[in-house]
Copies of this chain bind each other. A is one copy, B any other.
Amino acid sequence: MAVGLQAPLASSLRPVAGCELGWAQAGIRKAGRKDLLLVRLAEQASAAGVFTRNRFCAAPVQVCRAHLASGVPIRALLINSGCANAGTGAPGLADAMRTCEAAARLLGCEPAQVLPFSTGVIMEPLPVDAIVKALPAAVARLDAGGWLEAAETIMTTDTVPKAASASCRLDGAGVNVTGIAKGAGMIRPDMATLLAFVVTDAAVVPGVLAELTRRAADRSFNRITVDGDMSTNDSFVVAATGRAGAPPIADLDDPRCGGLERAIGDVAQQLALAIVRDGEGATKFIRILVEQALSQSEASTVAYAVAHSPLVKTAMFASDPNLGRILSAVGASGIRDLDPSTVQLYLNDVWVARDGARHPDYREHDGQRVMRGAEILVRIVLGRGGAHATVWTCDLSHQYVSINADYRS
């Protein structure tokens, strides 16, 4: 039940020169579904990633970090669903490495040039043999036009495949940026992983790409929350194949950086918002905007406190304008010197609380009208400074509990 979200048209997804995608059915958890994706990158592509900060990070996350740190050019991404390979200790690391070795043999590169990603049940061993056996079929399907099927392959409880494209011009050369993602949170918890892969045919040196990746994450995946849980496997990787023909961007002061940053950021934000709109059980798409904070960090803290409050989220589900819950969440967010009398609260165009108390002109039917919509803006003005932050989230519904309480079968 995605909120205002439809599957992208295959024709809207721009092929990226130097990037091919192929899927296979490895039968990792269920037979007869696409569960293995191979992404082949041109030689000398650069890649960068941001990963979960969960200390119980999965084996593939550890392998990704090591392979990226080794400095060799990345030639392939290998993604499986159905098993997270997390909480699996040293054998899990060896399993992730074996899948890299198998892919490297087929592609004629080094294992360190393959980045592995897994999503699925935690604390169960990766079925390496099934993956190795299915890999040739994925290689056989490698195709630059395979983006939509790639997005379908990494879906778990997502109801809509998530993919987006953007383009820009660098020195007159047209550059494409295309990405895919799968959802996280408010999602079947044994598969509660955010995975996102964005590829561009621009040429970017690794150090610059790493910074562009961090910036894109901070404005997209790091600004969404569904249930506040941080997966063991969350990964966001950006690769640049350099096949568009423009000379490489070698430092952040390069004037072309801005255009590429916007294109990558645009794709990342489209994917991130699609994840929220398709949050499992979601019936509302909610933007929380905190303004006039002392710092951006303070604004974020308040926005997340509101976004994570189960009482706010259930009120949104019920279209119940019980808006004191929002003030309460602001008050509980940990800003010790917050003065309630400078706080304003708006719901879309409705001024709900003025100077920390119910606005005298506020009428509940006005709040109700906004709450009944599928898209809601909660605007909180702190009256403390000039910083602001946005967080996107969804509501907490019966279906969230159903999905997460279902036994893994």
Instruction: Give, as a whole number of angstroms, the nearest-CB distance from A243 to chain B.
Output: 38
Are the C-beta atoms of A323 and B356 separated by less than 8 Å?
A: no
Instruction: Give, as a whole number of angstroms, the nearest-CB distance from A282 to chain B.
Output: 13
Q: Which residues of chain B are near A325, meaning CB under 8 Å?
A: 122, 189
Among A190, A338, A341, max chain B CB count under 10 A is at A190
Q: Please classify how large the interface on chain A is, using the bins under 10, 10 to 19, 20 to 34, 35 or more.
A: 35 or more
Chain A, 336-350, contact with B by CB distance < 8 Å: what is the 0/1 string? 101111010000000
Q: Which residue of B lies closest to A408 (CB)?
A: B322
Q: Which residues of chain B are near A331, meaning CB under 8 Å?
A: 54-57, 230, 232
Are the C-beta atoms of A358 and B88 separated by less than 8 Å?
A: yes
Among A55, A84, A330, max chain B CB count under 10 A is at A55
CA distance A124 to B353 in the complex (A): 12
- Give residues 10-65 of A contacting B (CB, 8 Å): 52-57
Stretch binding the partner chain, chosen from A131-139, A149-157, A262-270, A310-318: A310-318
Are the C-beta atoms of A230 and B315 separated by less than 8 Å?
A: no
Stretch binding the partner chain, chosen from A111-119, A170-178, A245-253, A397-405: A397-405
| Interface status of A324 (Cβ within 8 A of chain B) | yes
| Interface status of A179 (Cβ within 8 A of chain B) | no
| Interface status of A76 (Cβ within 8 A of chain B) | no
Are the C-beta atoms of A324 and B357 separated by less than 8 Å?
A: no
A397: contacting residue among B123, B336, B401, CB under 8 A? B401
| Those 8 A-B pairs whose CB atoms lie nearest each other, nearest first | A122-B324, A56-B331, A89-B357, A318-B405, A314-B404, A54-B331, A230-B332, A55-B331
Interface residues of A (CB under 8 A from B): 52-57, 84, 86-92, 121-124, 189-190, 192, 227-232, 308-311, 314-315, 317-318, 320, 322-325, 327-332, 335-336, 338-341, 343, 353, 355-358, 396-398, 400-402, 404-408
